[in-house]
Amino acid sequence: MPTQLNYRVGLIQMSCGPDPDANLDKAADRVREAAREGAQIVCLPELFRAQYFCQREDIALFDVAESIPGPSTERLAAVAREEKVVVVASLFERRAAGLYHNTAAVLHKDGTLAGLYRKMHIPDDPLYYEKFYFTPGDLGFKAFDTAVGKIGTLVCWDQWYPEGARITALQGANLLFYPTAIGWHPAEKAEFGEAQYDAWQTIQRSHAIANGVFVGAINRVGMEHGDVSGNKVEGPGLEFWGGSFLADPFGRIIAKAAHDKEEILIGEIDLKLLEDTRRNWPFLRDRRIDAYQPIVQRFLDAPIGDGK
Q: For residue 90, give the nearest of 103, 76, 107 by alpha carbon.
A: 103
How far apart are the C-alpha atoms of 206 and 210, rounded to whole Å?
A: 6
Cα distances (angstroms) measured from residue 189 to each of 34, 65, 186, 240, 289: 31, 31, 5, 11, 41
Instruction: From the candidates 46, 83, 130, 224, give the one annotated as an active-site residue.
Output: 46
b/e string for 107-141 if b means 16 or more Cβ within 10 A? bbbebeebbbbbbbbbeeeebbbbeebbbebeeeb
Given 43, 156, 224, 239, the catalytic residue: 156
Q: Mark whether 119 is an active-site residue.
A: yes
List 26, 109, 119, 256, catalytic entry = 119
The set of catalytic residues is 46, 119, 156
